Structure 1
Amino acid sequence: MLILKRILATSLAFTSLTAVAQTAETKPAEPVQHTFVIKNFRTENGVTLPEARVVYGTYGHLNAAKDNAILLPSHYMAEMHGYEWLIGPGKALDPTKQFLITSELFGNGRSSSPSNTPEPFHGPRFPVTTIRDNVEAVHQLLTTELGVQHLQAVIGFSMGAQQAFQWAVSYPTFMDRVVATSGTAKTYGHGIVRLESQIDAITADPAFKAGDYTAQPQKGIETFNLIWTAWLFSQEWWRQELWRTEEPAGTTFKQVVEKYRTHFIDGADANNLILQMRTWESNDVGATPGFNGDVEKALASIKAPVLYMPSATDLYFPVTDAQYESKFIPHGTLLPIPSLWGHPAGAGASPADEKFLNDHMAGFLKTGKVD
């Protein structure tokens, strides 16, 4: 089932829907993995972690002036390989010229997470970390470990787009460009209801045991997977059975659904899944200090040019949310992705999606404008 393998190319969701199809000639070089450690990291909710760890990858080399860096913050349960649809020969990002930094969100199982943090913060006792917490941790990483004081761009898909918007509000002069695909600056009510249904699917499994399980609550995770799948692609994608473009002849609809139910995020920890959904729910640039909950005022404070690329058929982040937010961004360009692939269109789900993203991003990164 090729489409699922692409989603789970590194055993974590949304890493790249096209990575498996890349040939040796087009696939970028393997990133170098690093870990940045912050002592006594205080979260926005007032909890201090004695040690917070941020795993990140780098492609290419930081130049002497330290002015060729681009940040690519990760999306839900993803790791450092999640942007390879955008990196390499003929694509928008060139690691022979740019220094690409792919940071991993708290809760993905590699950066500090419920599953890998010792007591008193293990499992369900790990604090909810916000998008701003993740941005602050990576800001420390950039400025203290790498000595980067300015970025050419912040580019993000999904929860990476949430981080890109937060970067633009928290550090408005830190970057020259911002690109956000399939993600918004705030999580609105309908998205929270969807996330709560997925959290309930996991916690309702008796094996969950309030988060202190001895084995993963598999039935709950499978229900979570199925709900997630229902929102992943557009209704038209399902009606036209576009999964057939990726599947071996003879594959049935029932087999496709069963694969998603049982293998959507293989090996994921239930508390990690929930933590990142809580992070997603709390996303709101209006809650940034100084804006008193006013998302419109926060968006109006953005100084960098923004290329805002929602998927025209996204059910997680409806294009209408992007249309609303874009009205308040002073130097923003709204460019919906014309795709039936729903949310993953923002990560190059189909060849047409990948080309659309790379073509428009390449021009925007050079000029700050879209032709």
Structure 2
Amino acid sequence: MDYEIFDLGDVTLQSGVTLPGAFLAYKTYGTLNEKKDNVIVYPTAFGDTHVQNEWLIGNGMALDPQKYFIIVPNLLGNGLSSSPTNTPPPFDRAHFPQVTIYDNVQFQHRLVTEKFGIHKIALVVGWSMGGIQSFQWGASYPDMVERIAPFAGVAKTWPQTYLVLDGMKAALMAAVRFDSSKLNQLTSADMRAVGRVYAGWGLSDAFYREELYRELGFDSLAGFMAGVWEDSFMKMDPHNVLAMLWTGQNADISANPAYNGDFDKALKSIKALACVMPGSTDLFCKADDNEYEAKRIPNAVFSPIKSIWGHFAGRGINRADNKFIDDNLKHLLELGTKA
């Protein structure tokens, strides 16, 4: 096991449900300094674990473990932190309770403060649903977080984002004829259709038109669909996926007692220096939505990743995109914080 477990105990979720024996899986990189001020929090995205975040961590990179103490907490529902697949009855599989982004960040805050005694965070960074968590950190703990850098992630689930996630959910619901009482019959084989639904959204139309999948070793579109989208989604458990889809569809940094749904107020409350990096051709975490958000964050820079890799411009695959993200993070970390 290449990660650690932080026991949360019995937690009351935003929904009011108590999840007994909850826990966060996390991995750290580097060493916490004596002042405890060299901290970077890097939450995981939908379907990812800490391993998928490691492309952005390395000597000489912005997230340099020789300089920073980097904490990668795993999203609830991803199979490592408390999830449908590792929670005993009565909260197993389809009975797993609804978990919000707000819940996730509250639990991560407990990890950071209770386990490590940290009270200042230099940067919270994340891709996709990791990006939403970085916005939430900034809104929930404005005096603690000095910088945020969401890439290909929005501060709430805008209508387009919601519809794409709903299409993925519908592919699973169709497998049980939309009968929620039969959800426990779902298997990983039912994830094949979810991968196909997502294929049209994860990358841009230009990516497919220019056949960039050939750079990844596939000589046909059909081969790419089967070898990447079907294969990667069939490795996921459908109940974990449904849990994470619910989290994603209901994400909104203002959906909590601090802001009572006032989205603009939540954005304006973020004190952190922010570098907001959408993928310029992202089809469902839209650059326009990120631009709206960045304009309302007092100390934000809007810096699109000019790429035809769509949402996956932030996935650590394309070298030029990776360098753009890393360069922006280096610049952000060099900036002094606002007084």
d(CA) in 1 for partners of 2:206 and 2:94? 38
Equivalent pairs, count: 335
**Is 2:125 aligned against 1:158?**
no
What is the TM-score of this pair, normalised by structure 2? 0.95
Mark the runs of 5 or more structure 1 residues left unpaired by the alignment. 1-30
Offset at residue 130 of structure 1 (A): 0.2
Of 249, 259, 263 in structure 1, the residue corresponding to residue 231 of structure 2 is 263
What is the TM-score of this pair, normalised by structure 1? 0.87
d(CA) in 1 for partners of 2:216 and 2:259? 46
1:304 corresponds to which residue? 272
d(CA) in 2 for partners of 1:308 and 1:246? 28
Deviations 1:54-109 (CA, angstroms, capped at 9, x unpaired): 00000011122211111000001111122222211331111011111000000011
Give 1:311's aligned amino acid.
G
RMSD value, Cα: 1.7
- 1:95-174 alignment, distance < 5 Å: 95-174=65-144
2:289 corresponds to which residue? 321
- 1:79-98 alignment, distance < 5 Å: 79-98=49-68
Give 1:280's aligned amino acid.
G
Offset at residue 187 of structure 1 (A): 0.2
Offset at residue 360 of structure 1 (A): 1.6
Of 141, 165, 172 in structure 2, the residue corresponding to residue 195 of structure 1 is 165
d(CA) in 2 for partners of 1:329 and 1:140? 25
Offset at residue 333 of structure 1 (A): 0.2
Of 302, 306, 309 in structure 2, the residue corresponding to residue 334 of structure 1 is 302
**Percent of residue pairs bearing the same amino acid type:** 37
2:187 corresponds to which residue? 216
- 1:53-68 alignment, distance < 5 Å: 53-68=23-38
Deviations 1:5-35 (CA, angstroms, capped at 9, x unpaired): xxxxxxxxxxxxxxxxxxxxxxxxxx95210
Of 148, 151, 155 in structure 2, the residue corresponding to residue 185 of structure 1 is 155
The secondary structure found in structure 2 opposite 1:212 is helix
8 Å CA contact 2:264–2:296 kept in 1: the answer is yes
d(CA) in 1 for partners of 2:29 and 2:80? 19
**Is 2:75 aligned against 1:75?**
no
8 Å CA contact 1:206–1:217 kept in 2: the answer is no
8 Å CA contact 1:32–1:59 kept in 2: the answer is no
Of 274, 277, 282 in structure 1, the residue corresponding to residue 245 of structure 2 is 277
8 Å CA contact 1:177–1:304 kept in 2: the answer is yes
d(CA) in 1 for partners of 2:188 and 2:30? 40
d(CA) in 2 for partners of 1:60 and 1:106? 24
Deviations 1:110-130 (CA, angstroms, capped at 9, x unpaired): 110011101111111111100
d(CA) in 2 for partners of 1:43 and 1:78? 22
The secondary structure found in structure 2 opposite 1:333 is strand
Deviations 1:29-61 (CA, angstroms, capped at 9, x unpaired): xx9521001111110000001111100000011
The secondary structure found in structure 2 opposite 1:83 is helix
Offset at residue 209 of structure 1 (A): 6.0
The secondary structure found in structure 2 opposite 1:175 is coil
Offset at residue 236 of structure 1 (A): 0.4
Give 2:183's aligned amino acid.
G
d(CA) in 2 for partners of 1:257 and 1:366? 41
Give 1:294's aligned amino acid.
D
2:325 corresponds to which residue? 357
d(CA) in 2 for partners of 1:368 and 1:350? 30
Offset at residue 264 of structure 1 (A): 2.0
The secondary structure found in structure 2 opposite 1:61 is coil
d(CA) in 1 for partners of 2:162 and 2:310? 18
d(CA) in 1 for partners of 2:336 and 2:131? 17
2:18 corresponds to which residue? 48
Mark the runs of 5 or more structure 2 residues left unpaired by the alignment. none
Deviations 1:140-194 (CA, angstroms, capped at 9, x unpaired): 1111111111111101111010000000000001121111100010101121122
d(CA) in 1 for partners of 2:204 and 2:107? 34
d(CA) in 2 for partners of 1:89 and 1:169? 30
**Higher helix fraction (1 or 2):** 2
